[in-house]
Chains A and B, each alone.
Chain A
């Protein structure tokens, strides 16, 4: 029998607010354990949470970017469970009235993936377990109270590829919005997946499993593929799929049962009486909507239309808002978009790769790149010279003019002086001239090299070629 997969994702993104969601503690990643804590996020008796308005605003930004309806009345609820990383023994989250609901994100195929809801909640601390047998665990509460949004999709995804594409697009959007840095390796973007199989074309859904511990895009694709195969085998053998939570084991590339549905906790959600409901007026939401940046998909379409870029270029350039902004800034002083795009995708990407530099950290002045590209077009610099100047500018921040002056890098395009050099070279290499005139046109390369040598590599290669041909023609008997 042929099966179809039904996949839904639950994505958690840490919001990049300066302070935590219910207290003034900093949220910096990687600080020394328990240095970013206070009585409130440690849940000490008598302390009270006060909602960080930025967290609400960021969640609404995400909601608007994902075409959600924004609630005019929302509230925060307590999710009760015992665990040492949860200092109050309840997580403040949102239960039945999330800030955003009923949105969608469109895949490249044009398929819409429904966003069921987006809500805000607080993160828990981090447990660090002692080596096997030593029998203790340490808790770092720096992360406790860091704001999260949880994005829940409808079960609209049909393949692991769609799931990965969705997550990549989502990540790109959240980064564009400036509300999360979405680093899966640091845990600021986390993804759980629900997956079930049903016979092709069937209406009723099969029994689902929930996959946890997915720590990369690759892992998401592989975990889903593995799970589809596992479930399909069970069903093909006439067995049933058990509703359970399974853990993706990266090392063994498999999913493993973590807990079954029977062990599901009753979280006893109820409205948190320490917090007042969130009431949003339309003007507030409209102001946030007006402040949204251009989103990746729109930006990509615009780059294609406005600059006639191939889709491939536009996709790469809009991979990061910073990169796209950089590209457009270059075009303020330079009018060949494709040449700029080529240079960025070639030279800039190469250098950024070498330095391990994220687009956000790019400090290069776009006017400098425009300057270099212009000089190349005008023949003032050869392409290889241009690349050399660019690398210097990239590494030192110096302007092209400064670099050219310091290195004496100037392309000789003055016809008269270059012609003198060419005639001198021809005079000095009569054998080569002979060869050329006898049809061995390959020696033109050698002669060009000689001219370059004489001019310390600064001669305009195109001009050399033309002058050589002219002068050699004159020597033809």
Chain B
């Protein structure tokens, strides 16, 4: 196994023992990028020289025993919708080509302050709208387990990069499953924190009331370390929450015996791939062996989650994306003769079809005469879905579902059918509607492709779901499988 295939916590321990230095890890990541990036398209922009220079600076700190924290010297990839001062931040959209923000997203800033190295900015669906990374305006990303298949989306680049060893961990954003679904598709662990736990400042908005930044990493422990680094109140984000600091890595070691998890019937019904179902149930059996009590429950409003999500998120997106007019930054259409025509041309040329579809959908949902029937109704149902989760969490400590109802699909397979694409999010979207935390954990392989189990928690109960995920990973090996760089015989059995 190469250094780049190790987990963050393994590398951190090697640093502590001074057996390995950051520049070696970075070199391993660079080598892997050189080997696989052309095939995978995980990155939109690489910044390897700067990352290498930062690695050498980290070397000195590690040698002196003065690490800035567990992330010091760790290569962490950044999704292209997280602003980074001095780096072109495009959200994989033509309309933001050439946009170099003068500020850094709070979450990224925190990583940088703790010594993380940034090898580059990862590919994504344009403005995070999509479930396959095929909506990137520049190139699709591929699944490292099978480059004929999508890595999921919208944080497909981040998931592919971590799975392939092109980064040790990554930041993604999750509006309707954009961290968890690609994590499941690429066989990595991805955490969507509670809405408000991580500052959104510097995250280019898609749907402000759903968007949340979170880590994609090789296991739950890595996610805990990443979360500890990025969580916390930020005066620049009014929706970020003042919450007592939790020691996420420490909470991983709690006993899980006696915990209760719920399996919502509605997530195991029609449309669920039988192989996915089999692997989830096997994982649930593992949890039971750890002393976790399993109950069945019903979340009856689940069928409304997709329409609620697509109405509200598109409404917010239509407003959030209105500012891209090419006047102050980004790509502008040629010709200045008439303001309205100029707006139209700039936006017609700058946005891809999926983004346009959502803008139109959202504009419609907010229009006079339709607002009550669509946007407002959706908000009312949103409240009901939140209540339904609250009710469920009176009975259970966590809810377990598949992350995606299907295995990673082939490139192009769902592009022509937006509704089929939207169905990829059916298990993840309700979590964003209610602002809950959820983690996707690798739970096996079907047809050589990874499958993810989603563990949903109460608001701010990241410690609980990471604890379950970690204890599960202690007795399983799916998360240790790697698409590249494994030695013979290291492939894990289900």
Contacts and interface: CB of A to CB of B under 8 A. Distances in A.
Contacts of B456: none
Contact of B201 (A42, A47, A80): A47
A270 B367 contact: no
A88 interface: yes
A89 B202 contact: no
A73 interface: no
Contacts of A47: 103, 201-202
B89 interface: yes
A48 B237 contact: yes
Interface in A244-263: none
Given A48-B237, A84-B327, A273-B209, A39 B102 contact: yes
B419 interface: no
A276 B339 CA distance: 34
Interface residues of A, number: 30
The secondary-structure label for the interface of chain A is loop
Contacts of A84: 325, 327, 339
A366 interface: no
Interface string B301-340: 0000000000000011011001111011100000011010
A135 B207 CA distance: 36
A474 interface: no
Given A48-B236, A273-B316, A266 B367 contact: yes
B328 A46 contact: no
Interface string B181-208: 0000000000000000000111111011
Interface string B364-385: 0011100100010000000000
A50 B343 contact: no
Contacts of A49: 238
Given A45-B96, A46-B201, A48-B201, A276 B239 contact: yes
B62 interface: no
A120 B337 CA distance: 35
A135 B201 CA distance: 37
B322 A88 contact: yes
Interface string A16-58: 0000000000000000000000010011111111110000000
A44 B329 contact: yes
Contact of B200 (A48, A268, A270): A48
B137 to A, nearest CB: 15
A266 B375 contact: no
A78 interface: yes
Contacts of B236: 48, 50
Contacts of B415: none
Contacts of B138: none
Contacts of A135: 336-337
Contacts of A82: 322, 325, 343
B83 interface: yes
Interface residues of B, number: 46
A87 interface: yes
Contacts of B237: 48, 50
Given A87-B323, A268-B363, A273 B208 contact: yes
A266 B235 CA distance: 33
B208 A274 contact: yes
Interface in B82-129: 82-83, 89, 91, 96, 99, 101-103, 105
A24 to B, nearest CB: 10
Given A84-B327, A266-B367, A45 B319 contact: no
Contact of A44 (B101, B316, B318, B327): B101
B319 A80 contact: yes
Nearest to A137: B339
A89 B238 contact: no
B339 A270 contact: no
A44 B330 CA distance: 10
A77 B363 CA distance: 15
Contacts of B324: 45
B322 A45 contact: no
A44 B81 CA distance: 13
A463 interface: no
B201 A274 contact: no
A394 interface: no
A275 interface: yes
A104 interface: no
Contact of A50 (B207, B235, B315, B325): B235
A82 B316 CA distance: 16
A275 B196 CA distance: 12
A49 B207 CA distance: 15
A390 interface: no
Nearest to B103: A39
A80 B101 CA distance: 24
A43 B200 CA distance: 15
Contacts of A39: 101-103
A88 B327 CA distance: 11
A465 B375 CA distance: 89
B434 to A, nearest CB: 15
Contacts of B209: 273
Contacts of A176: none
A89 B322 CA distance: 6
A143 to B, nearest CB: 16
Interface of A: 39, 42-51, 78, 80, 82, 84, 87-90, 135-136, 139, 266, 268-270, 273-276
19 contacts: A46-B82, A46-B83, A46-B105, A47-B202, A48-B238, A49-B238, A80-B318, A80-B322, A84-B339, A89-B319, A89-B323, A90-B319, A268-B366, A268-B368, A270-B315, A270-B319, A270-B366, A273-B209, A274-B239
The 9 A-B residue pairs with the shortest CB-CB distance in the complex, in nearest-first order: A89-B322, A273-B209, A268-B366, A273-B208, A45-B204, A46-B202, A46-B83, A46-B204, A266-B368
Given A44-B102, A48-B239, A80-B318, 10 more contacts: A44-B328, A47-B201, A48-B237, A50-B236, A50-B237, A82-B343, A87-B328, A266-B367, A270-B315, A270-B316
